[in-house]
Amino acid sequence: MKAVLFQGEKVTVVEKPLPPAGRDEALIRTAMAGICSTDRELLAGYHDFAGIPGHEFVGTVVRAPARPELVGRRVIADINCGCGICTWCLAGDPRHCPERTTLGIRGRDGAFAEYLSMPLRNLHLTDESLATEEAVFAEPLAAALEVGQQVHLKSRDRVVVLGDGTLGILIALSLRLACPRLLLCGRYPEKLRVAEAQGVETRLLEPGGAPADICRELGYFGAVVEATGQADGLALAIELARPEGTVVVKTTSHEPSAISVARIVVKELTIIGSRCGDPELALSFLKNRWIDVKPLIEAIYPFAHFDEAWHHAGRRGTLKVLVSFE
Ligand SMILES: [Zn+2]
Ligand SMILES: [Zn+2]
């Protein structure tokens, strides 16, 4: 099969054998994959990853010895593959399994390839009403929805989401249903308009603005979600939180963040890290059309033009770039 490989700082397409699929795993033919900023962080050295990247995908099961009825079905997957026997796995949450592998991120080849393999227990069937280019959003949408699973947001809270990348917009679109006083702040008018079109209030922030000036303009928030993808986003998030407020951190930057711990102490803030979420919840949001993800698609490239897709995704101000294998 053809697969994308990260080798040092280079992205190449190579010929590889089909991924091994054990008895409790499925071999899946990739239908579509999404390029994510995490993929760029991996290339920059995050997690010391070497192998096939790609963790946002939808595909078709082609082999599943233990569950042959799945052959031919469209699936997405929970990307965290646990050992199955530790306390985290037994509690049904492999995201923190110490032995876990993560599709295209940690110890497991990913979805920028014609085929991939996943444990059967990680698979989720997609609803037939969902287009391929909608279902491919299940992973990032699950990560966006995780914020609402972790923080008890109240309808009267002022909430701000920092960052108008795909993740920031998905977070704003999912939280707006419970938090009408939500504001999305970003750098790109055309991206903010995508969220505005679905009822989100937005504000354009000029680059290089001092956090104190931004606070004077916007006021303070009970909950701040930091999804800028930038190492310095956390400092602004801490400033924007009101005393006893909550800061949810989504950015996984390869660069360390410099913050004033004293500000956290003095304001008595709660800082919450937030990673992957529940794919089944994301599928239900998509199926019920509570969020329209299609306006977030910047471009769809055939896999044969992966190189162009990768460069397009790396341009500043780009929304979701998808790669089609069909
Ligand atoms: Zn991602
Ligand atoms: Zn485990």
pLDDT tens per residue across span 12-71: 999 999 999 899 999 999 999 999 988 988 887 777 788 899 999 999 999 999 999 999
Quote the ligand 1 centre to 111 CA distance (angstroms).
11
Token pair, residue 76, equals: 């997405």
Strands (E), 45-164: 56-63, 74-77, 80-81, 101-103, 107-108, 115-119, 123-125, 159-162
CA of 141 to the centre of ligand 1 (A): 9
Rounded CA separation 184/160 (Å): 6
Element (H, E) at 24: none
CB distance 80 to 97 below 8 Å? yes
Ligand positioned closest to the Cα atom of 137? 1
Q: In angstroms, what is the span from residue 156 Cα to ligand 1's centroid?
A: 30
Q: For position 89, what pLDDT does the model report? A: 94
Task: Tell me how far the alpha carbon of residue 102 lies from the centroid of ligand 2, in angstroms.
Answer: 12
Four-CA torsion 189, 36, 184, 260, nearest 10 degrees: -120
Name the residue with tokens 């471009």: 299
Q: Would you state the pLDDT for residue 44?
A: 79
The candidate with the shortest Cα–Cα distance to 47, out of 298, 254, 288, is 254
Query: Who contacts 79 (Cβ-Cβ below 8 Å, separation ≥6)?
Result: 55, 102, 103, 104, 105, 122, 139, 276
Which amino acid, one-letter code, is at 36? C
Nearby residues of 300 by Cβ (< 8 Å), 6 or more positions away: 32, 133, 321, 322, 323, 324
Residues with CB under 5 A from ligand 2 (ion): 82-83, 86, 89, 97
Ligand nearest, relative to CA of residue 144:
1
Rg of the chain over Cα atoms, rounded to whole angstroms, equals: 20
Residue length, the chain?
A: 326
Q: Name the token pair of 188.
A: 């790109």
Q: Which residues lie across from 187 on neighbouring strands?
A: none
Which whole number is the average pLDDT over 227-250?
94
Scanning the structure block, which residue is given the tokens 């009970």?
Answer: 222
Place 9 in a pLDDT band, splitting at 50, 70 and 90: confident
Whole-number pLDDT of residue 10: 82
| Strand 101-103 versus strand 107-108 pairing type | parallel
pLDDT digits (tens, 9 = 90+) for 296-307: 999 999 999 999
pLDDT attached to residue 312: 96
Q: How far apart are CA 225 and CA 172, in angstroms?
A: 9
- pLDDT tens-digit series, residues 105-122: 999 999 999 999 999 999
Distance CA 316, CA 165 (A): 10
CA 55 to ligand 1 center in whole angstroms: 6
What is the distance in A from the centroid of ligand 1 to the CA of 108? 15
**How far away, in angstroms, is 78 Cα from ligand 2 center?**
14
Q: Would you state the pLDDT for residue 207?
A: 83
Distance from residue 106's CA to the centre of ligand 2 (Å): 14
Q: Distance, CA 7 to ligand 1 centroid (Å)?
A: 20
Judged by its nearest atom, the ligand closest to the C-alpha of residue 88 is 2
Ligand at shortest distance from the CA of 35:
1
Ligand 1 centroid to 267 CA: how many Å?
32
Q: How far apart are CA 61 and CA 74, in angstroms?
A: 7
pLDDT confidence of 249, banded at 50, 70, 90? Answer: very high
Q: Which ligand is nearest to the CA of 83?
A: 2
Mean pLDDT (the chain) is 94
Please check the confidence at residue 123 and state whether its pLDDT lies above 90.
Answer: yes
What spacing in Å lies between the alpha carbon of 76 and ligand 2's midpoint?
Answer: 21
Residue range 178-182: mean pLDDT, rounded? 93
CA angle 113, 119, 120 (to 5 degrees): 115
pLDDT score of 112: 98
Ligand 1 midpoint to CA 202 (Å): 23
pLDDT of 132 > 90? The answer is yes
CA 226 from centroid of its chain's CA atoms:
13
Do residues 185 and 164 lie in contact, with contact meaning Cβ atoms separated by under 8 Å?
Answer: yes
Residue 30 pLDDT: 98
Distance 159 CA to ligand 1 centre (A): 23
The pLDDT-based confidence of 276 (bands split at 50, 70, 90) is very high
Q: Calculate how far, in angstroms, residue 268's C-alpha sits from the geometric centre of ligand 1.
A: 31
% of the chain residues with pLDDT over 90:
84
pLDDT at 24: 94
User: Cα-flanking dihedrals φ and ψ of residue 103, to 5°?
Assistant: -50, 120
